[in-house]
């Protein structure tokens, strides 16, 4: 059975909680809670990718993967208690350079989350797009993030999620060289649940994503996942054609015109 791995970002309770968060990717805490209840109603265990990789020998049947990017403060204040109540785990991909900054989780929060079974993993040292960086910069971002997280939290860091989903074969090779075991991408799809060094697809849950769509993804309905994959391919083509900076500017302008503000994803 294939596994859906969902990607969240900020989980605000109020609009005031959105500091340093992209509104387009912010899922209301009550909505996130409903998604967790949907998984429970389907009999799906909610697990981090780290835990699913450890359970790979069992095939991961009856599970949904849960991940968070960027390390927004609401991951600790809102998502973490809800996960604890359900007995669930998730991966939190953070940038050490901004930990403790305004709107972001603190080191104390990350330690508490790790102590209660959450998986704290690398999102790079800063939030720079990896396909814009020279090889030595990529290596430094990946190395320093892994080293600092392991030093401050005392736990292995084996997973990496590239900011904005920007990834290249060269970035993958460097990640393997530095000891990462899997890369959680932004490419939509379902994962076969097996271990080994690999790219793991994820499905991005946005502020506008419906509960029906989340349910369809969690239960592996192929048509629903295929729609997301088609949108991703179109966006990837646009990024390559325009370049990251111009793509982000065009995207922001289009979102403003549509009345849906948001920064780069």
**113-129 pLDDT, tens digit each:** 999 999 999 999 999 99
Each residue's pLDDT tens digit, 59-91 = 445 899 999 999 999 999 999 999 999 999 999
User: For position 58, what pLDDT does the model report?
Assistant: 44
What one-character-per-residue DSSP string does 228-260 give? HHHHHHHHHHHHHHH-HHHHHHHHHHHHHHTT-
Euclidean distance between CA atoms 226 and 178, whole angstroms: 33
Average pLDDT over residues 13-31: 89
User: For position 69, what pLDDT does the model report?
Assistant: 98
Euclidean distance between CA atoms 247 and 253, whole angstroms: 10
Tokens of 95: 């940038």
Average per-residue pLDDT for the chain:
87
User: For position 256, what pLDDT does the model report?
Assistant: 55
Each residue's pLDDT tens digit, 29-41 = 999 999 999 999 9
Give the helix ranges, DSSP H, for 42-161. Answer: 49-54, 74, 80-86, 107-115, 135-153
Asked if 48 contacts 118 with a C-beta cutoff of 8 angstroms, the reply is yes
User: Going by C-beta distance under 8 Å and a sequence separation of 6 or more, which residues neighbour residue 230?
Assistant: none
Q: Which of 49-58, 132-141, 149-158, 253-262 has the lowest mean pLDDT?
A: 253-262
Which residue has 């809102």 as its token pair?
Answer: 78
> pTM above the 0.85 mark?
yes
User: For position 227, what pLDDT does the model report?
Assistant: 75
Asked if pLDDT for residue 242 goes beyond 80, the answer is: no
Tokens of 260: 């849906």
Query: What single-letter DSSP state applies at residue 186?
Result: S
- Using CB atoms within 10 Å of the CB of residue 138, give its burial: 0 to 12 exposed, 13 to 18 middle, 19+ buried: buried
Classify strands 203-204 and 198-200 as parallel, antiparallel or unpaired: unpaired
Asked if 122 contacts 141 with a C-beta cutoff of 8 angstroms, the reply is no
User: For position 71, what pLDDT does the model report?
Assistant: 97
User: For position 263, what pLDDT does the model report?
Assistant: 42
5-225 is a CATH 3.20.20.370 domain: yes
Greatest mean pLDDT among 19-23, 125-129, 196-200 lies in: 125-129
| Between residues 163 and 246, the one the model is more confident about | 163
User: For position 16, what pLDDT does the model report?
Assistant: 77
User: For position 225, what pLDDT does the model report?
Assistant: 77
Q: Which of 82-91, 173-182, 214-223 has the lowest mean pLDDT?
A: 214-223
Average pLDDT over residues 164-191: 93
CA distances from 251 to 48, 108, 241, 255 (A): 31, 35, 13, 6
Asked if pLDDT for residue 244 goes beyond 80, the answer is: no
Of 206, 191, 237, 255, which Cα lies nearest the Cα of 4?
Answer: 191
SS3 at position 218: helix
Average pLDDT over residues 33-56: 94
Each residue's pLDDT tens digit, 124-150 = 999 999 999 999 999 999 999 999 999
Domain boundaries, the chain: 5-225
- Using CB atoms within 10 Å of the CB of residue 139, give its burial: 0 to 12 exposed, 13 to 18 middle, 19+ buried: middle
Query: What single-letter DSSP state applies at residue 72?
Result: B
């Amino acid at each position: 059975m294939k596994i859906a791995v969902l990607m969240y970002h900020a989980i605000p309770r109020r609009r005031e909680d959105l500091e340093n968060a992209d509104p387009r990717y912010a899922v209301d805490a009550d909505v996130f809670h409903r998604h967790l209840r949907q998984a429970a109603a389907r009999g799906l265990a909610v697990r981090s990718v780290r835990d699913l990789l450890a359970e790979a020998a069992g095939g991961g049947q009856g599970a949904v993967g849960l991940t968070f990017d960027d390390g927004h403060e609401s991951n600790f204040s809102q998502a973490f208690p809800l996960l604890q109540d359900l007995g669930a785990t998730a991966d939190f991909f953070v940038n050490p350079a901004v930990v403790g900054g305004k709107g972001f989780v603190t080191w104390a929060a990350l330690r508490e989350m790790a102590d209660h079974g959450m998986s704290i993993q690398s999102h790079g040292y800063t939030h720079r797009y990896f396909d814009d960086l020279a090889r030595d910069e990529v290596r430094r971002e990946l190395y320093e993030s892994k080293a600092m997280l392991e030093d401050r939290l005392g736990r292995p860091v084996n997973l990496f999620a590239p900011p904005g989903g920007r990834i290249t074969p060269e970035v993958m090779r460097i990640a393997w060289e530095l000891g990462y075991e899997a890369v959680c991408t932004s490419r939509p799809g379902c994962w076969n649940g097996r271990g080994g060094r690999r790219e793991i697809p994820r499905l991005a849950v946005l502020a506008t994503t419906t509960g029906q769509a989340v349910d369809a993804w969690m239960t592996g309905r192929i048509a629903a996942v295929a729609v997301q994959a088609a949108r991703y391919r179109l966006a990837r083509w646009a990024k390559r054609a325009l370049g990251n900076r111009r793509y982000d500017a065009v995207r922001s302008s289009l979102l403003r015109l549509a009345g849906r503000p948001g920064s780069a994803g």
